[in-house]
Amino acid sequence: MLSTMQDGHLSIGTLLRHGSTVHAESEIVTWTGSGSRRETFADLGKHAAKLANALRGLGITGDQRVGTFMWNNAEHMAAYAAIPAMGAVLHTLNIRLFPEQLVFVANHAEDQVILVDGTLVPLLAKQLPEMKTVRHVIVANGDPATLQAPDGVEVHSYDELLSRQADTFDWPDVDERSAAAMCYTSGTTGDPKGVAYSHRSIWLHSMQVCMTDSMRLAESDKALAIVPMFHAMSWGLPYAALMIGASLVMPDRFLQPEPIAQVLATEKPTFAAAVPTIWQGLLQYLDANPQDISHLREVVVGGSAAPPSLMHAFEERYGVPILHAWGMTETSPLGSVARPPKAATGEEAWRYRYTQGRFPANVSARLIGDSGEEMPWDNEAVGELEVQGPWIAASYYGGSQVDPEKFHDGWLRTGDVGKISPDGFLTLTDRSKDVIKSGGEWISSVDLENAVMGHPAVAEAAVIGVPDEKWDERPLVAVVVREGQQVTAVELREFLADKVAKWQLPEHWTFIEEVPKTSVGKFDKKRLRAMNSDGSLDVTHF
């Protein structure tokens, strides 16, 4: 028996039409460094139409890929809306990729057009001659004359190009299962891998971002989207905002603690999202330059584990709760959110908040042990996390031959190791490649990092395993000391004495100016291992 319900494609075009009419007065606010420029969602509808018309004129007539090499701003938001809605595929290029990786992803995706912010022209120009399929570059917020393009590539001014276009567009009825957007993994091992999101997966994911057990994005919110639009679709915030009518505050290139604090003071957003390193830097700035940020009802942290000390500091000193979430490029990225059950209070609620969170109905999860067996959800058994669902990648772009080991019997192998409670809360203990095996037992680098960062003198701490003749591996702790503070390895070991098992206490310590970061702001432990191997770290041994 079939239903009697109407059918219709869940497309980005539908989201754009809805957002630009029903939520016409909602805003996209772009920070300029000294103030804000504003555009309503109604303006966005016209802006997107002009961009779509311009791209049609440049030969984007089907599902060709259009790259963006841009900060979070109104122009990038117009690209997010226009490119998928017109039936093409948005490809967000990560501006922090290594040059050879940037060339690889542009060629692999076969980008035809690239939109670039003027401040990023020097970065793109160096690699553009190697991008074999690019035929047009559109320079926004800058002078196109600064880009010396290779033969066969035409350079355009964004403003001039759009000024000649109509502000209406006949948005096509796009099949919901066709690709809408592409992101590539950060490529810490091997070449970056492409993930092609469908219109349907983005639509369903956007609904989850607005759910009350998730980020609770609402029309009344003004959301500060610090998480880059060039990484994991800015955690789904742009499309969820179109769906629900939440205004967006875009920080553009001003991502240091002081300008972020200025944005907070000027725009008073109610919601914000960024990786932990952003909030750690902001916390240090606010402690030295206090200001009221209680207008933030909630802050979402993901990308890597949020140290409990960071969560407590924001809530206890500034009245701002941090919501911990987990996800990855392959999961769109929302996989779980650490919102405690309604009955949990006090310390029990905090224990739930320290986890990576509970899985929503659209994300199925399982743990696989070393021997391939499925592990129980008892909050004790540990295994590699595998997930599946309608916004989870089933393969990488290029077919099943691209890293087939990442996909197992219809499930995505996340590479994360952890445990799951009976009520569905995930606690990750490590990445599979970062877990430390010492004397036949496992040491969680994440747990050690969080414990060390609980010391008031520590700004950052990263833990890697180093070879040991007796124990196979032992932890090495790299510490960044807060400005104006002092602490020794002896003091830190004493600080850890009642926080971890005695056999887990690290014997190897080093103090560095900054923990190396990946292109998406996570601790780059591969580089840290290389620094240790080549002798560039000054290590204290106990």
**pLDDT tens figures, 222-239:** 999 999 999 999 999 999
Element (H, E) at 297: none
For residue 144, cis peptide bond before it (omega within 30 degrees of 0): no
| Predicted model pTM | 0.86
The dihedral of CA 488, 521, 36, 296: what is its sign? negative
Rounded to 5 degrees, what are φ and ψ at 201? -65, -40
Domains of the chain with CATH codes: 12-26+40-198 (3.40.50.12780), 436-541 (3.30.300.30)
Rounded Cα–Cα distance for residues 218 and 239 (Å): 12
**pLDDT tens figures, 285-304:** 999 999 999 999 999 999 88
Q: Which residues are catalytic?
A: 185, 330, 437, 442
C-beta of residue 113 within 8 angstroms of C-beta of residue 58:
yes
> For the range 34-41, what are the long-range contacts, defined as Cβ-Cβ under 8 Å and sequence gap of 24 or more?
35/266, 36/249, 36/266, 36/267, 37/74, 39/74, 41/242, 41/245
Q: Which residues pair with 38 in a beta bridge?
A: 29
CA 108 to chain CA mean position, Å: 22
C-beta of residue 248 within 8 angstroms of C-beta of residue 242:
no
The dihedral of CA 486, 491, 493, 495: what is its sign? negative
Whole-number pLDDT of residue 188: 53
DSSP H stretches of helix in 129-249 = 158-163, 199-210, 237-244
How many helices and strands, by DSSP H and E, does the chain display? Answer: 15, 28
- The stretches in the chain having pLDDT less than 50 are none
Whole-number pLDDT of residue 43: 98
* Residue tagged 């490029």 (tokens): 329
Instruction: Quote the crossing angle between the two packed helices 237-244 and 199-210, to the nearest 10°.
Output: 70
Q: HSE on the CB side for 357, CA within 13 Å?
A: 25
Rounded Cα–Cα distance for residues 308 and 296 (Å): 19
**pLDDT tens figures, 480-524:** 999 999 999 999 999 999 988 788 899 999 999 999 988 777 788
Rounded Cα–Cα distance for residues 305 and 462 (Å): 12
